[in-house]
Chains A and B, each alone.
Chain A
Amino acid sequence: MAQNARSHKASKVVERMGKKLTRQMVGSLVGCVHCGMCTDSCHYVLANPDDPTYAPAYKADQIRKIFKRNFDWTGKIFPWWVHAQDVRTDEDLEKLKDIVFGKCTNCRRCSLNCPMGVDFATLNRMARGLLVSVGVMPEGVAVVSKDQWEVGNQMGVLPQDYLETLEWLSDELEAEFKDPAARIPIDRMDADIVYAINPREVKPHFLSCGRELDHAQRRMGHDQFWSLLRGR
């Protein structure tokens, strides 16, 4: 009956939660005593002191209430007594998304200040995974994940564009140093230093990184070579 009332995505989230739960997570789900010792340790709380919904225990409760309603005995029998509540609609999932993606960085400061050792970051990570599995995630995350899978980097820079940018940068370097050898080497096999670029650096930081390495090489002399790893 309860399952029939859920949206398809909500049903999947609950079903997959049952499969994902580990003993560590269940301990953290049942172990919170709502003492509030963790509240002031969260940087979101410090930045939003007048909004109690940033309290780590409240955020964890948004995951906990689904667990209690579906997997814990008191929550199944007396849901109102322990604030157990099912997730039913896609809007419920959207609300959960805003909390698990937008109100926690999984830094674990709250856990380090929790006398019970409740590991909220692990719960949050699980909730993120569950939501992503049904396609509920912030647009930015969806876009960069898609680019990472399809293109090989989060910025969606195609290999051809990447190589062309390197060519263009090499031309600039060559002109700047007035040295035809001042070019950015790519996939060079005898290099002493290999620079594998962080996917996020492909666009914004690339220029400075490439130049710094070239300067470094010049300081070291030309005995040591560096090469950019094209990678994927």
Chain B
Amino acid sequence: MSESLRFVSDYLQLMAMSFMAVVYIFRIRWLLKFKASRERQAPSENVDASSFKGIVYSWANIAMPWSMESTRHMSFFYIQFVVFHLAVAANIGMSLVIPYAPGLMKPMIVVRLLQILFAAACAIGCYRMFRRLSNPAMRLISTPDDLFSLVLLTVWLFASVFAAPNRPDLGEGPLMVYFIMTAFFLVYVPFSKISHYLYYPFTRFYFGRTMGYRGVYPIKRVTQPKPTNNKGIKSI
């Protein structure tokens, strides 16, 4: 392994990661500077309702696609979401495994599974870009940051397909591109929408607290009675 590859896969990553961590600390401090709101209305009269249950339900919401109408109706979108986020998490993991525990990447099955995951996520990234540009409402709400973040992640996932075998002996190009992109990604993330995972616990905490307090969360699904016509006869 050349000195340059050693540098980009090790020191550069550590520098980028430290930078990201410092910015995140400032960001959390900034968020915590705003006062926490309190509930002003009377709590739900349902004795089972509680803010705590609401918070737990809200946090668990991500793993319960049946809990939201949007994910129930758009199950394909939910599957995409899971694959895409798993791939990003695995990709970040790989950037640590390659320099510090390369043995974990030795079995070919691991490499192939990761490549399949990255390739699937890359295809999802392309589809999401298409959706963002073709749907009028999506186009209207998309900022340059939204578009750039999506392109950045998609290209990074594409690069990781070629970096996964970790074979610098066959040419260092794919690994160099992968690690430079990872470092850029880590530096850019705190300033972009990609840092939404940092806010996720906060937004879901407060929303869950409010909804739990008011007895809305956990959502109880009731079987809807069949609609009837005005003669009281059930429609088919």
Contact = CB atoms under 8 A, between A and B. Distances in A.
B61 A23 contact: no
Interface stretch (B3-11, B134-142, B169-177): B134-142
A30 interface: yes
A99 B68 CA distance: 26
A213 interface: no
Contact of A40 (B73, B142, B207, B210): B73
B77 A55 contact: no
Interface residues of A, number: 41
B74 to A, nearest CB: 7
B57 to A, nearest CB: 11
Interface in B172-221: 191-193, 196, 199-200, 202-204, 206-208, 210-211, 216, 219
A135 to B, nearest CB: 24
Interface stretch (B30-38, B42-50, B98-106): B30-38
B203 A117 contact: yes
A38 interface: yes
Given A33-B196, A116-B199, A41 B70 contact: yes
B137 A39 contact: yes
B58 interface: yes
A159 interface: no
A132 interface: no
A52 B199 contact: no
Given A33-B193, A82-B143, A23 B70 contact: no
Interface in A120-176: none
A59 B219 CA distance: 26
B141 A41 contact: no
A182 to B, nearest CB: 35
A80 B219 CA distance: 39
Contacts of B142: 34
B145 to A, nearest CB: 5
A23 B74 CA distance: 30
Contacts of B35: 22-23
A34 B68 CA distance: 17
Identify the 10 closest CB pairs spanning chains A and B, nearest first. Answer: A117-B207, A113-B70, A52-B137, A22-B37, A24-B206, A117-B204, A31-B199, A27-B202, A27-B203, A55-B137
26 contacts: A22-B34, A23-B35, A24-B37, A24-B210, A27-B206, A30-B31, A31-B199, A31-B200, A33-B146, A34-B146, A36-B141, A37-B71, A39-B137, A45-B137, A58-B137, A58-B141, A61-B141, A81-B144, A113-B68, A115-B62, A115-B71, A117-B58, A117-B204, A118-B207, A119-B203, A119-B206
